[in-house]
Amino acid sequence: MKKVYHELFDEALAAYNAKKKKTRDKIPDYYEHIRQSKQEKLFHEAVFQIGNLTDCGCGSPEGERAAAALKEFAASFQERNPHLRVFNMVLHMDEATPHLHVDFVPVATEQSRGLSTRVSMKQALKQQGFEGLGR
């Protein structure tokens, strides 16, 4: 996942640090910076499942249909979610019900605060059209 962080943020980090005069204001390692952040997480994992053990159990025809639908959903996930950078996606067929694990880093772009490209679940979702309405 460190590789993903380099791919995503190295350029914005260099620009951010270039603007900082004091060494203490620079961020030497963005991965480490986020790892220690109280606000953001290094990555998120979402699990998608259709039905349950009784109606879409592994090995049943319905379970096969659910798995096929999850595969289709998985194939277009990245394209549909440009601000959620997927680095791992796996379909599990070996437990009770077929389910899809999706691991991603939420990426906000064109930001005025902090790095211009940075980790932010809230801003990433906002840039995909999902905005929170208070609590």
Interacting residues toward Mn ion by CB under 5 A: 92
Cβ-Cβ contacts under 8 Å for 27 (sequence gap 6 or more): 13, 16, 17, 33, 115
Give me the least distance between CB of 88 and Mn ion, in Å please.
12
CA distance 71 to 57: 16
Q: How far is the CB of 7 from Mn ion (least distance, A)?
A: 26
Residue closest to Mn ion when measured from CB atoms: 92
Q: Which is nearer to Mn ion, 65 or 101 (CB)?
A: 101
Decide if 134 contacts 122 (C-beta within 8 A): no
> Least distance from C-beta 102 to Mn ion, angstroms?
11
Residue 125's identity, in one-letter code, is L
CA R_g for the chain: 19
Q: Which is nearer to Mn ion, 92 or 126 (CB)?
A: 92
Choose between 31 and 48: whose C-beta lies nearer to Mn ion. 48
